[in-house]
Amino acid sequence: MTASTPAAGGRDQAGPQEPGYQPDPQRWRALWVTLVAGFMSLLDVTIVAVALPTIQRDLHASAAQVQWVVSGYALSFALALITAGRLGDALDRRRIFLLALSGFVVFSAACGAAPDITLLVVARLAQGLAAGFMAPQNSALIQQLFRGAERGRAFGFFGATVGISSAVGPLTGGAILALASGAQGWRWIFYVNVPIGVVAVVLGRRLLPRVRRAGRAGGRRRGRVDLPGVVLLGLGVLALMYPLVQADSGGLGRLWWLFPVGVVLLAAFTQWQHRLVARGAQPLLDPRLFTTVRGYAIGACVGTLYFIGFSGVWLVFALFYQHGLGYSPLRSGLAVTPFAVGSASAAVIAGRLVERFGRTLTVCGLTGVLVGLGGTALLLRFAPLGAAPWFAAPLLLLGGVGSGFVVSPNITMTLRDVPVHMAGAAGGALQTGQRLGAAVGTAALPGLFYVTLGRNGHYPAALFTAIGAALIGMAASLALAAYDWRRDRTPGRS
């Protein structure tokens, strides 16, 4: 196997005893720096949602303008991921991570200080771009710093970060608004990133490993980036995501034609990547990741399908509790806290078990999520609303435990056989799929909630319908994970 060919079946980095691997004594401290930064960037996808009404009133913005505070961040975040991962592989992950984190801090401050909605949206777009450049370096640094069982534990913490940041966004936003009273209190949702980010930059400069780059590594030139691929991929992802982020203002009806355009552009991107590989050049995203790296293609699909339901369901719960039951943003966030607690606890445990149980954890976890969220939807649909949120807590806890056994093991199993020199691009592609899934879920599920509500004016029925749709995506993810699990258990298959 040449240095430029991905591992097929066996692990590229098999364990802590592999030749040439010297454990970095600072690796666990470095991991926590990247996890804190990753937590901030992912939290900012959802934390702002609870403050949108306040922002709209304070800045005299229209509903379409204020929606871009959320959707613009998600869009620029997703656009940057794969290109940022490839740049980290080709150049210097440490430098790109620190530059992106510094930019994230600066643009967070700019968001908090924005005097009008236009500058706030521009700052959010820049903040999302910085987050997108930072995110793939997290998983790549784990690939670089850890091996064997330690890598599973590290990805366990990483998976916990992904799950918790998505689940506690509304709670954190509600708590900040409750503490920072007054019309300008929403600005602290952005300012809170500044001191945390500054500390992370200082610690990152001390703890993140420096990598010496030679002109050639294993016969490969390291510094070139596929610019035509960047353009094709960026335009393709933009065409797919733009109608979704504009869904609240009728984007799906007006911009439906962008979906086939995006498919054509991504098909052209795929063909271009195959041509580069055939010529021995360096692609932006090596197609062999999906064809020869064991578990990568299925793991990416499992993650994308799961995030369709996982991301959108929190907006639906927020609409139900705040509009349907009259809860405050803080109380609404507290109502779904059992899910976050279960997810955080299980993800760390799953990271220790994934080397032993593999895809079995994902199958069991998805089953737990389906039972937990399905039971919650049934309970909130038919039980008396005054007591239903209390009775739903154990079911949400079960769903959270299941989620912890999905996100963390799936990330580990998807990326564990990826060669370290491709870790950034692979992590970026995996997270791009998750962002696309999240965009579909956050556009479709609240839309379905409002359609059902408009027909009968019954909030429990609207919640039940929207969560039911989310469970369809999760069931598809379970079917794919079960197929992979059974294939692994079949003698003679790998």
Q: What is the pLDDT of residues 365-418, one digit of tens each?
A: 999 999 999 999 999 888 887 777 788 899 999 999 998 899 878 888 888 778
Residue at 270 is within a domain: no
* Rg value, the chain, Cα: 22
First and final CA of the chain: distance in angstroms? 18
Average pLDDT over every residue of 274-280:
86
| pTM, two decimal places | 0.77
What pLDDT score does 200 carry? Answer: 93
Residue at 426 is within a domain: yes
Site of tokens 């927020």: 318
- Asked whether the beta carbons of 252 and 451 are under 8 A apart, the reply is no
In this structure, what token pair is assigned to residue 64?
């379409």
In this structure, what token pair is assigned to residue 109?
């401050």
Residue at 203 is within a domain: yes
Question: Which residues pair with residue 221 across a beta bridge?
Answer: 216
Residue at 244 is within a domain: no
Residue at 2 is within a domain: no
What pLDDT score does 18 carry? Answer: 54
Most confident of 160-169, 260-269, 415-424, 442-451: 260-269
Residue 390 phi, psi (nearest 5): -70, -45
- For the cut 50, the answer to whether the pLDDT of residue 221 exceeds it is no
Q: Which domain holds residue 149?
A: 27-209+284-489
Report the share of the chain in percent with pLDDT over 70.
89
- Asked whether the beta carbons of 176 and 192 are under 8 A apart, the reply is yes
Mean pLDDT of the chain: 82
- Backbone φ/ψ region at 210: left (φ over 0), alpha (ψ -120 to 50), beta: beta
- For the cut 70, the answer to whether the pLDDT of residue 344 exceeds it is yes
Confidence of residue 494 (pLDDT cuts 50, 70, 90): very low
- Asked whether the beta carbons of 71 and 245 are under 8 A apart, the reply is yes
Residue at 189 is within a domain: yes
What pLDDT score does 107 carry? Answer: 96
- For the cut 50, the answer to whether the pLDDT of residue 443 exceeds it is yes
Query: Half-sphere exposure of residue 351, counting CA atoms within 13 Å on the CB side?
Result: 22
Q: How many other C-beta atoms are found inside a 10 Å radius of the C-beta of residue 221?
A: 11
- Asked whether the beta carbons of 151 and 418 are under 8 A apart, the reply is no
Confidence of residue 492 (pLDDT cuts 50, 70, 90): low
Residue at 476 is within a domain: yes
Number of domains in the chain: 1
What pLDDT score does 267 carry? Answer: 92
- For the cut 70, the answer to whether the pLDDT of residue 227 exceeds it is yes
SS3 221: strand
Average pLDDT over every residue of 164-169:
72
What would the pLDDT profile of 311-326 be if each residue is shown by its tens digit?
778 778 888 888 888 8
Report the share of the chain in percent with pLDDT over 90.
24
Pick the more confident residue, 475 or 489: 475
Query: Half-sphere exposure of residue 289, counting CA atoms within 13 Å on the CB side?
Result: 27
CA distance 139 to 24: 16
What would the pLDDT profile of 32-69 be if each residue is shown by its tens digit?
999 999 888 888 877 887 777 788 888 988 877 887 88
> DSSP 3-state helix, strand, coil percentages of the chain (rounded to 5)?
80, 0, 20
What pLDDT score does 404 carry? Answer: 86
Q: What is the CATH number of the domain that holds 186?
A: 1.20.1250.20
What pLDDT score does 23 carry? Answer: 76
Residue at 51 is within a domain: yes
